[in-house]
């Protein structure tokens, strides 16, 4: 929301400036020369710097995504280690009960009616 509060007045000012300055002016850069209005030139420069900023943010985000991916892999590995340690701890303090024989010896069986 704060970005919007900063961006909207800037864009409105840029549009008003370009609408008020429509007289063609001779411009040159080194050996190149052309006629254009200051408003159009301002809009073109603003668009170019917007794209440059978007590319810079994209490159910075790529590096951050790589860091986040590595951190998530490390978290998964540590969670697996914690689960293994808890399993080992449970087996150490609560050993499994000795198996109970499934059938009683024949001498202890009750006769059938």
Q: Domain residue spans in the chain?
A: 11-91
| pLDDT given for residue 12 in this prediction | 86
Higher pLDDT, 49 or 41: 49
Distance CA 104, CA 53 (A): 81
Mean pLDDT of the chain: 83
Q: Does the predicted TM-score (pTM) go above 0.85?
A: no
pLDDT above 60 (res 65): yes
Contact in structure between 8 and 21 (CB atoms under 8 Å): no
Q: Using one digit for the tens of pLDDT, what is the confidence trace for 79-111?
A: 999 999 999 988 887 766 777 666 655 565 555
Q: How confident is the model at residue 9 (pLDDT cuts 50, 70, 90)?
A: confident
């Amino acid at each position: 929301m704060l970005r919007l509060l900063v961006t909207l007045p800037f864009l409105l000012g840029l549009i008003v400036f370009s609408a008020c300055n429509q007289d063609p002016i001779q411009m040159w850069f080194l050996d190149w020369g052309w006629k254009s209005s200051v408003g159009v030139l301002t809009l073109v420069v603003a668009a170019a710097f917007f794209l440059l900023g978007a590319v810079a943010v994209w490159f910075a985000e790529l590096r951050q995504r790589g860091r986040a991916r590595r951190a998530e892999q490390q978290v998964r590995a540590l969670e697996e280690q914690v689960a293994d340690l808890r399993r080992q701890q449970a087996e150490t303090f609560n050993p499994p009960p000795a198996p109970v024989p499934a059938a009683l010896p024949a001498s202890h069986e009750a006769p059938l009616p």
